Amino acid sequence: MAVRLRLEVRRGELRREVVALLNSGYEAPTPQLLIPIDLARELKLWPPEGASEVTLDTAGGPLRAWFYPRSAKVKILTSDVSSREVEVDVVISPLANEPLINDMLAEELEIAVESFGRGLWRFRWEPKDRVRESASRA
């Protein structure tokens, strides 16, 4: 299992609910949400006009992607509470099959992972015995 979270992604008036994978190995200096091309289309970010083309170092080798700085806002949605909204850089990957939350976005959303293997997490501000289960993959 892994930690997946239900997010609301907002770009202007466009809002989409998605399930995103928390990837602690996705390191970057800013909060970033990596998204597949189909979600980029829904958010009117594809084709990538005005984006910077970047090459990311990944475990599978270099990946060509498109980078939109500070172009969306995200928050975590749960059955009983939502996180604060965080401004993110959007990275579009032609290989991604689901959105990925990077380390700095996890930090800004105040996520505390209790078990990656069992998909358990909580908000850092919640009591340690308040454990949440991973969202089902969309």
Give the pLDDT confidence of 55-66 residue by residue, as tens digits: 999 888 999 999
Q: Give the whole-number percent of the chain exceeding pLDDT 70.
A: 99
Strand partners, 21: 4, 100
Neighbours of 17 (CB within 10 A): 10
For the chain, give the mean pLDDT: 96
pLDDT band at 126 (very low <50, low <70, confident <90, very high): very high
Tokens 């928390």 found at: 22
Tokens 């908000």 found at: 123
Residue 8 covered by a domain: yes
Give the pLDDT confidence of 24-40 residue by residue, as tens digits: 999 999 999 999 999 99
CATH code for the domain of 21: 2.40.70.10
Which residue range is the domain that position 37 belongs to? 4-133
Number of domains into which the chain is organized: 1
What's the predicted TM-score (pTM) here? Answer: 0.96
Residue 138 covered by a domain: no
Helices (H), the chain: 37-42, 103-108
Neighbours of 20 (CB within 10 A): 24
Residue 14 covered by a domain: yes
Residue 30 covered by a domain: yes
